[in-house]
Amino acid sequence: MIHDYQRCVSCVMDTSDPKIVFDARGVCDHCNNFYKNILPSWLPLPSSLESFTERIQKQGRNRDFDCIIGMSGGVDSSYLTYYVTRELGLRPLVFHVDAGWNSQIAVNNIERLVDGLKLDLYTEVIDWEEMKDLQLAFFKSGVPHIDTPQNHAYFATMYKFANKYDIKTILTGANLSTECLRNPIEWMYYQSDSTQLLDIHRNFGKGKLRNFPLTSILWHKVILPYFKGISVVSPLNLIPYVKQEAMDLLQDKFGWQPYPQKHFESRFTSFYESYWLPERFGYDVRKVQFSSLILTKQMTRNEALIKLKQPPFNRDTIKHDIKYIANKLGIDVEELNSYMDLPLKTYKDYKSQRAIYSLGTSLMKSVGLEVGGKR
Ligand SMILES: [Zn+2]
């Protein structure tokens, strides 16, 4: 079905999002969802922050750590680490998953934060041969969500660690302030769906996944929280979180370095989000990121439109980046480029637990436990 081109008059989302719906004023469903469901309950009372801090401190009594923080080196997780340590007085174990794609800036940022705050860092390194095999399988599958292996490993490892050491709270930098709009499912399918991951690997992988960490929706959404009492909390939603202010503070206090774009702490994600996804599928994640900032008044729509006129990737370095990705995956540039021309596939072409995800999301929304989320 071919739609006429249309862009939301309030944010910068447009018909490259295949399920976007506009009202009579030309405002999209993402914006309407934000005003109706997210904004009214966005910033809770200060007492929520107090009770959060007390609860986490109580869990950590007589233990080495109060909680763990998943740290990528990006602004959200870095600021979160600073905030809970310095402002709330918590004692987190900083947890980092190295899936092989860290940028040098990410490594520096993590070190600076951990040293500056005198915290302990635990790094789990993912089996690179398996990671590479899985990553290539995703390229060969033709789907858009080829960043799944890295993100899946990140969360699965953290859940596993928390469970093994009985740490009750995992803190993440996820936040509504910069992520009140999420990438549509057509652009980026649920990365935690192990059924999909395993089916793609079964079809296109070469070796066996022996060490690769796996999670499933049942494990992390039901068993961990309701049977083991391990929950994932996003404290940036409990405070007024302003991205530019956070970056200024981190640079000033820790010599933290900013990235050209959200998620570019990973060299793979940078290649994938700036080049692969827009060039092969026409999905430009900047539209989602800028629209979130527009709705939370951290960017004007005009600024976003000007930035969107620039290509999503850096023309001067893209050739070098493509070569880096190919080398690292052990293939030549021609092979990597050949995946660009494969027929376009979606998550629907492989086995998935989409039905369970949809059911889970409706349940969470109906009881008010989720306001944002994908659609
Ligand atoms: Zn909109």
Give the Å distance between the CA of 30 and the centre of ligand 1.
Answer: 5
Percentages (nearest 5) of helix, strand, coil residues in the chain = 55, 10, 40
The predicted-structure confidence for 145-154, as pLDDT tens digits, reads as follows 999 999 999 9
**pLDDT-derived band at 370, boundaries 50, 70, 90:** low
CA distances from 77 to 80, 171, 236, 320, 372 (A): 5, 9, 9, 28, 19
pLDDT of residue 9: 98
Residues near 243 by beta carbon (within 8 Å), at least 6 away in sequence: 75, 177, 178, 293, 298
Of 228, 213, 254, 329, the C-alpha closest to 85 is: 254
Distance between CA atoms of 56 and 66, rounded to whole angstroms? 6
CA quadruple 218, 223, 229, 230: dihedral, nearest 10 = -50
pLDDT of residue 20: 96
Distance between CA atoms of 116 and 169, rounded to whole angstroms? 23
Give the Å distance between the CA of 199 and the centre of ligand 1.
Answer: 35
pLDDT of residue 364: 75
Question: What average pLDDT does the segment 190-197 reach?
Answer: 95
- Decide: 337 and 48 in contact? Cβ < 8 Å: no
Question: What average pLDDT does the segment 250-272 reach?
Answer: 90
Question: What average pLDDT does the segment 221-239 reach?
Answer: 92
pLDDT of residue 359: 85
Give the Å distance between the CA of 186 and the centre of ligand 1.
Answer: 17
**pLDDT-derived band at 349, boundaries 50, 70, 90:** very high
Distance between CA atoms of 66 and 5, rounded to whole angstroms? 50
Give the Å distance between the CA of 352 and the centre of ligand 1.
Answer: 29
- Decide: 144 and 122 in contact? Cβ < 8 Å: no
pLDDT of residue 243: 94
Give the Å distance between the CA of 202 and the centre of ligand 1.
Answer: 39
Q: 37-55: string of b/e by CB count within 10 Å (b at 16+)?
A: bbeeebeeeeeeeeebbee
DSSP annotation of 73? S
The predicted-structure confidence for 6-59, as pLDDT tens digits, reads as follows 999 999 999 999 999 999 999 999 999 999 989 988 776 778 899 999 999 999
Amino acid at 133: D
Residues near 234 by beta carbon (within 8 Å), at least 6 away in sequence: 171, 172, 173, 174, 175
pLDDT above 90 (res 3)? no
Quote the pTM value. 0.93
pLDDT of residue 41: 81
Give the Å distance between the CA of 18 and the centre of ligand 1.
Answer: 14
pLDDT above 70 (res 255)? yes
**pLDDT-derived band at 360, boundaries 50, 70, 90:** confident
Using CA of residue 78, residue 75, residue 225, residue 151, what is the dihedral sign? negative
Residues with CB under 5 A from ligand 1 (ion): 8, 10-11, 13, 28, 30-31
Please give the mean pLDDT across all residues of the chain: 93
- Decide: 184 and 291 in contact? Cβ < 8 Å: no
Give the Å distance between the CA of 8 and the centre of ligand 1.
Answer: 5
Q: Which of 122-136, 247-261, 336-350 has the lowest mean pLDDT?
A: 247-261
pLDDT of residue 369: 65
Amino acid at 128: W
Give the Å distance between the CA of 144 and the centre of ligand 1.
Answer: 23
The predicted-structure confidence for 286-315, as pLDDT tens digits, reads as follows 999 999 999 999 999 999 999 999 999 999
Distance between CA atoms of 351 and 348, rounded to whole angstroms? 7
